[in-house]
Amino acid sequence: MLKKIPNYIKYIFCNFALLILFNIIFRILFYYLFAELETATSSERQTAFWLGLRFDIKLASIAIFPLALLILIVNRRFFAYKFYRKLSYFYLIITYIVLTLFYITDFGYYDYLSLRLDAASLRFLEDLKISTQVLFESYPVFKGIFGLLILGYFIYKLSKFLYNQFSNQETHFSIKLKTGYFVATILILSFSIYNSFTHYPLRWSEAFFSKNNKVNQFALNPVLYFFDSFKFRSESVDMEEFKKYYPVIAEELNLPKDTISFERKVVFPDSLKTKPNVVIVMLESVGVKPLSYYGNPINSSPVIDSLIPLSTSFSNFYVHKSGTAASVFASVTGLPDIDDINTASRNPMIINQRILFDQFEGYEKLYFLGGSANWANIRGVFQANINGLKIFEEGSYENENRADVWGIDDYELFKESDKVLKKLHEKEEPFVAYIQTATNHIPFTVPDQKESFAPLSEDAISNDLLKKSGFKSVAQLNALRYLDFNIGKFLERAKESGYYDNTIFVFFGDHNTMMNRNHQYTTEHDLNINLQHALFFIHGPKYVKPKVVQKNAKLIDLFPTIMHLIKEDYTNYTLGSNILDTLDNKLTSSFVYLNMKGEPTVGLLQDSMYYSRTNISKTKGLYNLKDNNLVDIKEKYPNKAAAMDSLLNAYYHSTKYLYFNNKKLEE
């Protein structure tokens, strides 16, 4: 069988296997010299080893890919010309030396900071003289250089040996067979890089599966992790600006003025006799504008319309950034997503946070979504920070019929979630569950019929009514109607399963859906903050009284408000606050981060006032949202503009500070 394979293909995979072995050797060295996994469970160690092996295979495939591609193109000629032989020697020697330098640097970096090598390590180059002196005084640099020379010589000899072993094949292969081997090799190496059977490739966030950070650190590959974090290298806090505005945020959040601390302990003198369950439902793309309850002319949301009057609702609730990953990050960590490049969830340098979700004592903690938790690296945000969290994703459910790119649809997601919650209720185990819906998202996949739900036909809504509503299509409307229907079915199942009465249901939209300009919220539309104005209401007749809260609320307030309702003692390290605070006369704010005319922009809402400032050109504006005409009034109200600018800066720089200074404690 092996004789039928061209020698140049064997040469590629032999080098591929050696690179994998090389990476594994350094992983084993790290395990015995630095990992300190004595407190980890055997299951955690096994998972970390398996993930680490996958990362090592991925790196080996990336390393060999350029050489493999060249060999596949020239095929038999690779062994016929000295140029290719010398090029392969040079490439392999450089590859092994570069990898070795990364691994050795990683060892020293971890020994110093208990962190794998990341882009933040580049800060040591800012003062090269001191860093070089420390390097020479702390490590055997000259012995290391000598060792690298020996390694280079060994790789040269090994490469020469392998080249000679495979250079003697005289068999000729047909074009068809060569093409087959070309495609097969590319596919194998490509899959080794993708390294996953799911819809998402292997990502660094999968390494953050444990509450024990040492386990997570061991699972990482430092070379891949360095480049994953490289694009975030400039994302740091400006300490001068932060200290300048800290007194402002301290006043806003009632923090100590004489020292920098965001820690606020909240202790309830009286606790509830029975722990209520908490179910948080993230409603994909649900803002206030498309809902008939808030004045949309189409009867788009009859179930939500019926629930809001029975719940505590928030008419001025804003998410920080108009993206699902951004809102998931903010809701879980209690910090706004103000990342310019992608989303904060994708930044490996800031996902390690002290969060309130982890402080539900005696609760089963659950996260449900229809697709994969690898999406947007969200697994790292959840699993690395929440002790004992159980993630239910594609592959976890009893019945799975994938609807579209986002996995199973909301009907199936709610149904499968209910099965798990029912079992916990029957065992009298309280739970806090986060359910992330997705069907109300492009491509708007809804079934032709699901129980009493049927989508509207294209001609069921007149063009005039569709235009008046702001919906861009009937498909967009049907997706919202289907989500609305599924909310009703979920609550029906909760009642049948028995946990409805003892559960607080928290519903929030991750952002508004993209809509056309109509008569609703016109100033918000023109200011581009209509996507941030989302739905938020809390439903639980036993615990929550019907009430409309008109104070400005923001997504990071989610968990402090929930903890207040269930009277669970907690320590808040975040920027979020309890919206239901009894200080009704206190002026509250909503902090948003968006794009305005191509520029990253920060904004602050207080009552009907909106203040914004672009990050690059520093263009500022103050607007009254009740005024249908978009008029900048900052010159008319300079004191108000200055106060809002100050608080806006305080939120922005405090967020940056906490990204890097709110790390959860090692256990």
Report yes or no: 418 and 490 within 8 Å, Cβ to Cβ. yes
Please name which of 593, 595, 47, 514 lies closest in space to residue 329, comparing C-alpha atoms. 593
Tens of pLDDT, residue by residue over 416-431, are: 999 999 999 999 999 9
> What is the average pLDDT score of the chain?
91
Give 401-463 as a DSSP string.
-EEETTEE-HHHHHHHHHHHHHHHHHTT--EEEEEE--SSSTT----S-BTTB-PPPTTSS-H
502: confidence class by pLDDT, cuts 50, 70, 90? very high
Residue tagged 């070309």 (tokens): 182
Find all residues with CB under 8 Å of 407, minimum gap 6, and list them.
199, 369, 370, 371, 372, 393, 394, 413, 438
564 marked among binding-site residues: no
Q: Which residue would you say has higher pLDDT here, 110 or 532? A: 532
pLDDT at 99 exceeding the cut of 60:
yes
What pLDDT score was predicted for residue 171? 66
- Other Cβ atoms closer than 10 A to 251: 13
pLDDT at 2 exceeding the cut of 80:
no
Give 382-394 as a DSSP string.
HHTTSTT-EEE-T
What pLDDT score was predicted for residue 595? 77
Taking CA atoms, 507 is separated from 28, 167, 558, in Å, by 47, 66, 10
Supply the pTM of this predicted model: 0.82
Tens of pLDDT, residue by residue over 583-599, are: 667 889 999 998 776 67
Average pLDDT, integer, range 460-479: 95
- Other Cβ atoms closer than 10 A to 149: 11
What pLDDT score was predicted for residue 173? 75
Average pLDDT, integer, range 139-153: 88
What pLDDT score was predicted for residue 609? 97
What pLDDT score was predicted for residue 349? 80
What pLDDT score was predicted for residue 617? 81
Residue at 250: amino acid letter: A
pLDDT at 240 exceeding the cut of 50:
yes
Q: Is the dihedral of CA 228, 370, 394, 426 positive or negative?
A: positive
Out of 254-263, 593-602, 605-614, pick the least confident.
Answer: 593-602
What pLDDT score was predicted for residue 664? 77
C-alpha dihedral (590, 593, 596, 599), degrees to nearest 10: 150
Q: How far apart are CA 355 and CA 267, in angstroms?
A: 17
Q: For the chain, what percent of residues have pLDDT higher than 90?
A: 71
Find all residues with CB under 8 Å of 42, minimum gap 6, and list them.
none
Give the chain's domains with CATH numbers. Answer: 7-228 (no CATH), 239-662 (3.40.720.10)
Report yes or no: 566 and 277 within 8 Å, Cβ to Cβ. no
Average pLDDT, integer, range 558-576: 97
553: confidence class by pLDDT, cuts 50, 70, 90? very high
What pLDDT score was predicted for residue 127? 58
**Partners of 534 in beta bridges:** 287
511 marked among binding-site residues: yes
284 marked among binding-site residues: yes
What pLDDT score was predicted for residue 667? 47
Tens of pLDDT, residue by residue over 14-73, are: 999 999 999 999 999 999 999 989 888 999 999 999 999 999 999 999 999 999 999 999
What pLDDT score was predicted for residue 414? 98
Residue at 412: amino acid letter: E
273: confidence class by pLDDT, cuts 50, 70, 90? confident
Out of 172-176, 342-346, 392-396, 614-618, pick the least confident.
Answer: 172-176
Catalytic residues: 324
Residue tagged 């990992």 (tokens): 35
Backbone dihedral region for residue 79 (phi beyond 0: left; psi -120 to 50: alpha; all else: beta): alpha
Q: Which residue would you say has higher pLDDT here, 238 or 539? A: 539
Find all residues with CB under 8 Å of 50, minimum gap 6, and list them.
none
**Partners of 435 in beta bridges:** 281, 368
142: confidence class by pLDDT, cuts 50, 70, 90? confident
What pLDDT score was predicted for residue 124? 65
Residue at 278: amino acid letter: V
Burial level of 269, CB count in 10 A (0-12/13-18/19+)?
A: exposed
What pLDDT score was predicted for residue 123? 60
Q: For the chain, what percent of residues have pLDDT higher than 70?
A: 94
Q: How far apart are CA 638 and CA 592, in angstroms?
A: 21
Q: Does the N-terminal peptide bond of residue 443 adopt cis geometry, omega within 30 degrees of 0?
A: yes
- Other Cβ atoms closer than 10 A to 663: 14
What pLDDT score was predicted for residue 207? 87
Tens of pLDDT, residue by residue over 164-221, are: 988 876 667 778 888 888 999 999 999 999 999 888 889 887 888 887 778 888 999 9
Question: Strand, helix or coil at 661?
Answer: helix
CA angle 182, 187, 189 (to 5 degrees): 100
pLDDT at 666 exceeding the cut of 90:
no
Average pLDDT, integer, range 287-303: 97
Give 87-131 as a DSSP string.
HHHHHHHHHHHHHHHHHHHHHHHHHHHSS---GGGGGGGTTHHHH
